[in-house]
Structure 1
Amino acid sequence: MIRISSLLQRWRHTLCILPLGLCGLAWADATPAQVQQLLQRGQHTQALQLIDQGLQRTPNRPDLTFYRGVALTELHRDDEALAVFRELNRAYPDSPEPLNNLGVLLARQNQWTPALEALQAALKIDPQYQAAHENLGDVYARLAALAYQNALKSPDGPAGHAQTKLRLVAQIAPLPAPAPLDLTATEKTPVSATPMRQANATPMDTAGAQVPGTVAPSPDVAQVHAALQRWADAWSRRDMAAYAASYTDGYATAGLTHAQWLAQRRARIEGKTSIQVELDAVKVQVNGDRATVQFVQRYTANDHRSVDRKTVTMHRQGDAWRIAQERNR
């Protein structure tokens, strides 16, 4: 039996549905270039129309069928996307990619048990499948957050350590709503058409990764968060002056002078026709004139998309907070 991954192995790509990673099989040689461009630009409706036209001519193309599922997912037509990936899983049971995407969609609908089963099945096929490992970790983190939240609602909840644990888990698995969910059910009402990180937003999405019942962030935390957002906005605008001003004087990465680093960043940023940088799950800790910020960075530029967990150290210089060090976690 033909495996989808054997057909498309060398161009596996990762697309992300927040906060879980939806794996697309990247761009096949046989996939029309226009479909690739439309999906990468976020023009999912137009991509879907082109894919459907291609499938009318050649119905048995697994690459186009897979991308139909990706486009439907991006359009939040989850039930249709689930049907596509289930059919692909039936046709290609030895391919882990449809199972991974099934896990993402089921988790987005709070169907935790089926989501876990789909991701675990993907990893049985390919134990080295990085996207499925990360998605499985995200599902476990979300279940942990739900459990800690429910623990806080018990009579003895405030006496335990659930609040501290929830605060930590919320950095990577913010809950869409404070109400506890029934973890035994396998069928849930799908989330709204808004991406998970925006739907029913709670204070956990704000600076300091607050949870319900905690105090508002301090002025220093708010200033650090605002400075980081200005950095991301300048990067998205490809505004090199504002971008460079977000770093400490003389900033450079290992092996480079400040001038060399600046020239390298200028070439990479100004060489793109479009950039979008989004920050999620921002957690700020301030200690005097130094701050440590942990967050999820979602970067899209031209034909590249990535998701990174980053830690940034910022120093207060005068009235401004500037980046002194950044690294991927």
Structure 2
Amino acid sequence: MHGSNEGVGTRVEKLLKDGRYGEAEKEIRQAQAADGDSAQLKFSACVLLAQQSAAKKAIACFQQLSQAHPEMPEIYNNIGVLYAGIGVQLEARKWFERGLKQQQAYAVLHQNLLNLQAEINRNAYAAALQLDISKSNAPPKLSLLGKLTSLPEATSPLLSSSGAALPGKATALVAPVVGPEVAKGQLAGKLTQTSPVMSASVQAAESPDKTTDLNDPSQVRETVQAWANAWSKKDLNAYLKAYSPSFNPGVNLSRSAWEAQRRDRIMSKKQIQIELSDFNISFSKVNAKATATATFLQSYQSGTIVTVGRKTLELSEDKGQWLITREMVIGAGS
């Protein structure tokens, strides 16, 4: 062993980045000879196996480490990434979900879980539509964590807390998902609401007065439910009328192209069932115009395809009725 505590971590990090795995292994073994109980060193050894494309050995290594250190979310993340890499998606999802229950690294775990769910949904669509996606689309890109941030600072006297960073070949990118809404918003951070002036429970009883009460959540919920019912019934006219003339579909589509796309996707289904629950409705003013934001849990089923995800609709009052101006999906949707 040579050099300072920080030097060991720096050398291992650089060797892994440069693909000099033999030298990295030597450094790790030398450090472990003096401190065999170091969780950071054991973690780096598992990372080394993963970088050498020894996925099954790396999984076994990380699983053994998880038994000794169940509080480390980085371990769960890396096991999930490795399982996804060998095509065992449901097992990968299980490990991501377990990792989310731990104390840190939530951002990467959450993004990986969303990316994996997107891939599962994409495969389900492909199977239902009898599409061959094996050649045209890459697998989901998931991020392997190379550093332990959940260790106490004094855990290892021989390796710096920075750990061994992995090469930047796997970055957290959102995998493609069928459905125009998904591209509009993947994370909860994109769904923040502007200048809320009121938040009300959607459990309020319906008012017998059907004139638009701009602070009545039941009317917003009624509008959203009517939109979902039109979708379920494949009543395309009612479905499209729920959207404001100012609605921007995004995803590089014109309004007419978006309507044509929705027409094809809705009318091509034999049956559609939409169920909404867990509403949260708030109100605000945008440019002196009354707006409402409705967030809810959406369950979509068509044949063998079943997806569940959070959705947000932004609505604007227009001539006495609420119309959708923006639509965003978190996670699964169609």
Greater share of helix residues, 1 or 2? 1
Question: TM-score scaled to structure 2, two decimals?
Answer: 0.38
Question: TM-score scaled to structure 1, two decimals?
Answer: 0.38
